Structure 1
Amino acid sequence: MQEKNEYVLSKQLLRSSASIGANITEGQYAQSGPDFHTKMSIAKKEAAESLYWIRLLMSSGLVPKERIADLHDDCEELVKMLVSICKTPYKRNFGTF
């Protein structure tokens, strides 16, 4: 049962974390400022979701905290960066539109 729970949580983490990179990559090739902002906002949401799954894994005891502490810290930092990017006006991120 524990292996199944760990698998389910890990699978959710994989999905949300893969989406972060996909949306950031799409944002790099955005067609406009609003398009860039949309992709970065989605990446921010996915990063926040990934952080949730990491915290759940840590608190569940399914994975030792020490094993994923660095991942947790990196994900928190990524969320902060994406929040900052999303707060920055379009013209500074993409140019005028």
Structure 2
Amino acid sequence: MPTSVLIVEDEPEFMRRFTNAILSDPALALAGSAGTARAAMAMMEAQPPDVVLLDLGLPDLNGVEVIRHALARQCRCDVLVVTMFDDDQHVLASIEAAPPPATC
């Protein structure tokens, strides 16, 4: 069974590239794509993905909220952060949003 991937990205060109990469790999299945955190969280409620490919800089909420939501719904979900932020605050907040593996 292919690994389902939800893309959360607000830049259309990056969304297109990520989508094409997922669709070209038979080991992956596109679970959906969202341009906002709220849309992504609604998609996760309907069907939790195996992987979330996530931009932290979203127009409605901080991407860290999406990480928390994803892992609260399915703690075995992998989250891959793709972002232009390069400061310690954003990087650490992303890491801290994920519980240690032993708590799943």
Q: Determine which structure has greater relative contact order: mean sequence separation of CA pairs < 8 Å that are 6+ residues apart, divided by chain length.
A: 1
User: Do they superpose with TM above 0.5?
Assistant: no
**Structure number having the greater helix percentage:** 1
**Structure number having the greater strand percentage:** 2
Give TM-score, length-normalised by structure 2: 0.29
Give TM-score, length-normalised by structure 1: 0.30
